[in-house]
Amino acid sequence: MSARQIRHPRIAALRRELDEHNYRYYVLDNPVIPDAEYDRLFRELQDLERQFPEQITPDSPTQRVGAAPASALATVVHHQAMLSLDNAFSEQQVVAFDRRICEALEVDSVVYSAEPKLDGLAVNLMYQQGRLVCAATRGDGQRGEDITHNIRTIHSVPLRLRGTDWPQQLEVRGEVFMPKAGFAAFNRQAQAQDERVFANPRNAAAGSLRQLDPEITRQRPLDVFCYGVGAYGGAALPDSHSALLMQLRDWGLKICPERQQLANIEQCLAYYRDLLQRRDALAYEIDGVVYKVDRLAWQRHLGHVARAPRWALAHKFPAQEKLTTVRAIEVQVGRTGALTPVARLEPVDVGGVTVTNATLHNLDEIRRKDVRVGDTVTVRRAGDVIPEIVAVLSERRPADSRLFTMPDHCPVCGSEVRRIDDEAVFRCMGGLFCAAQRRQALSHFVSRRALDIEGVGAKLIEQLVAGDWVRSPADLYRLDLATLTGLERMGEKSATKVLAAIAASKPTTLARFLYALGIREVGETTAQTLANAFGTLEAIMHADEATLQALPDIGPKVAQQVRAFFAEAHNREVIEQLQAVGVQWPEHQTQTLEPTLKGQTFVLTGTLDTLSRDQAKARLQALGAKVSSSVSKKTDYVVVGANPGSKLTQAQSLGVQIIDEAQLLRLLG
């Protein structure tokens, strides 16, 4: 037996592996490897078959277009085969394609039609006498799955063609896809309802079209772009592919707005670079560009090989999904104290960028995807979005892989980490102390409805934190003129004003102080409720959850957050420091007020003469009233000052009682 007759073992192995991936992709809608990995395996088989052409068999993946249709759907035979496209992954390969075309046609240059390569599901729409009679997937290129009942639910697919000059029989080729915005909204809704979420818009489109119940498909945000024709009976074709697309548009079929007619291959490459640059801004996912010889007579002359036309080429973008390994799983602490698990990855090039980290969102997501240290995973990168792990190849899991557990204490400040009720997020409880939360805590502390320190804005806080001058809110009261004047864009006059505003904020109210602490779930109304009920900060700090829940509008989650905040030693230390530098309030005053307006809702509009809006709101809340920002049928009073807004008109139309400032003052006693 000659060396050429020996069966190459890798060829058989590659065919088996590619057949398995074809089955998972086309039949099960459940791919386990990214497209880039599949393309690599396919190219390896092509190279080997070129070396050993006598070993090519009719059932090789290189000799057919796709896979067999799913058995749950009826089979449709295409009148004209739906071919795949050869791929190019470099500009040199595109130039070589153009050179072969020019040599075959014996011309110096060729005009091309170019359009984005959509990342969806190829479909064949059959029109007879101008009416949609059948729709099918590509399937194996000769036979596809009958999806007529689902295609009819897509509004961008006309059930009847416009005009009267269409052929008696027309096969329209197109790509069904799910736009990015629709995909994101669909997955959010599915996750909220504890239903299956899709890994990407392509899988979402494929899964939607293969539903047996068209009502399910109707609820999916699908769209379609048409890009060509198959059988075309009873009429003459236009001269060019570009003209054909315009003809399809005239008949009411949707075509891609990014299509272009290009004079030569240099313009094709410029078009590719432009689309690659704008890829993330498009409303739909694309994974490359398709070039087609524009003149249809030349297309017919060039013909096709077993699985692809000679006159077309798909120029693929750099892959945005790759395989890599999880080295470790660590946590990052955000500005609100949320702990986010992050996978540290074996470095891998994804779409031209070296990726070393990927977000894992939260512990529930890690458990759902079953990500472990040591796993081989598919990582995706899309534009500026943080890379994420989309799938785990569990069959490649090593024996020493490790499960991840959330830490009990914050890796930044050492404070306790808690998960409140059924929240997905674990949080650090050291809000006033934790360095990761410092900017957020300070910005809230100085805000108008908290301690209201004028002149201390985001830019100043950024400088104070960056220079390590302020580590907690108490450090604001220790600032001096020399420190402030040494900062960027801070003269002596401005620094003096800031110091005066800081000093003026020391006398406050218990409700404002509670709100300024930034306790999660504790807004102005809840802070006022706590101040009214307990009268002193000491009493609030020692109240148990049962006592807290006995108050109006305070449920289990709020009570847990309050208890967790005051149970953290670091937070109590900062509160003691604030009191030591002179922040104070008249604690006893809040105990003398009776909730005479309990259960009543007020809305304030316009400018009051004797009270500011904040003062009026605080007085009303102290008496048990709720102050709303909008008027509804449940509103009891709308308080009108000078120059009222649209809320007055709304109150009049709803019949809500309208009072002026004098009447408000009488209600306040």
pLDDT in tens, 569-599: 889 999 999 999 999 998 754 444 567 888 8
Mean pLDDT of 401-417: 92
Domains, in order of start, for the chain: 3-63 (1.10.287.610), 75-316 (3.30.470.30), 321-396 (2.40.50.140), 407-591 (1.10.150.20), 601-668 (3.40.50.10190)
Answer whether residue 196 shows pLDDT above 50.
yes
Alpha-carbon span 515 to 528, nearest angstrom:
8
| Residue 278's pLDDT band (cuts 50, 70, 90) | very high
Average pLDDT of the residues in 284-295 = 95
Q: Are strands 312-316 and 87-88 parallel, antiparallel or unpaired?
A: parallel
pLDDT at residue number 599: 85
Kindly state the DSSP code that residue 52 receives in the 8-state scheme: -
> Count of CB atoms within 10 A of residue 416's CB?
16
CA pair distance 230, 170, nearest whole angstrom: 7
Rounded CA separation 507/72 (Å): 74
Three-state secondary-structure class, residue 528: helix
* Cα–Cα distance list, 628 to 316, 326, 514, 554, 600 (Å): 55, 49, 20, 17, 10
pLDDT of residue 234: 72
- Mean pLDDT for 183-204 is 81
Tell me which long-range contacts 36-40 makes (C-beta under 8 A, separation of at least 24): 36/319, 36/321, 36/322, 37/322, 37/323, 39/87, 39/89, 39/316, 39/319
Q: What is the pLDDT of residues 342-383, one digit of tens each?
A: 999 999 988 777 899 998 988 888 998 999 999 999 998 765
The answer, yes or no, to whether residue 115 has pLDDT greater than 90, is yes
Q: Say yes or no to pLDDT of 283 above 50.
A: yes
Mind giving me the DSSP string for 596-625? TTTT-EEEEESB-SSS-HHHHHHHHHHTT-
Sequence length of the chain is 669
Mean pLDDT across the stretch 179-196? 83
The answer to whether 58 touches 126, Cβ cutoff 8 Å, is no
Can you read off the two tokens belonging to residue 16?
Answer: 């088996």
Catalytic residue at 598? no
The predicted structure's pLDDT at residue 533: 86
pLDDT of residue 422: 66
What is the β-pairing status of strands 338-350 and 223-233?
unpaired
The phi and psi torsions of 35 (rounded to 5 degrees) equal -60, -40
Check if the beta carbon of residue 228 is closer than 8 Å to that of residue 173.
yes
Q: Where are the alpha helices (DSSP H) in 178-222?
A: 180-192, 201-209, 214-218
* 100, pLDDT greater than 90: yes
Cβ–Cβ under 8 Å, residues 417 and 325: no
Q: Residue 390 contacts by C-beta under 8 Å, 6 or more apart in sequence?
A: 199, 200, 321, 377, 378, 379, 380
Q: How far apart are CA 601 and CA 421, in angstroms?
A: 30
When pLDDT is averaged across residues 514-526 and rounded to a whole number, the result is 89
The confidence score (pLDDT) of residue 2 equals: 46
Question: What integer pLDDT is reported at residue 254 of this predicted model?
Answer: 92
- What is the rounded distance in angstroms from the CA atom of residue 147 to the CA atom of residue 136? 5
Predicted local distance difference test score (pLDDT) of residue 649: 87
Question: At 302, is the pLDDT very low, low, confident or very high (cuts 50, 70, 90)?
Answer: very high
Q: What three-state secondary structure class fits 92?
A: helix
Task: Decide if 451 contacts 512 (C-beta within 8 A).
Answer: yes
Model pLDDT, residue 27: 54
Q: Which tokens is 530 given?
A: 């706590």
The answer, yes or no, to whether residue 330 has pLDDT greater than 90, is yes
Write down the pLDDT at residue 532: 85
pLDDT at 317 over 60: yes
pLDDT of residue 405 exceeding 60, the answer is yes
Q: In the predicted model, what is the mean pLDDT of the chain? A: 88
Rg (CA), the chain: 34
Strand partners, 76: 144
Looking at per-residue pLDDT, the higher value among 666 and 125 belongs to 125
- Region 511-530: what's the mean pLDDT? 90
Mean predicted confidence (pLDDT) in 4-15 = 78
Catalytic pick from 117, 316, 617, 626?
117
Confidence at 512, pLDDT banded by 50, 70, 90: very high
Q: Name the more confident of 313 and 5.
A: 313
Confidence of residue 502 (pLDDT cuts 50, 70, 90): very high
Residue 18 — left, alpha, or beta (φ > 0 → left; ψ -120 to 50 → alpha)? alpha
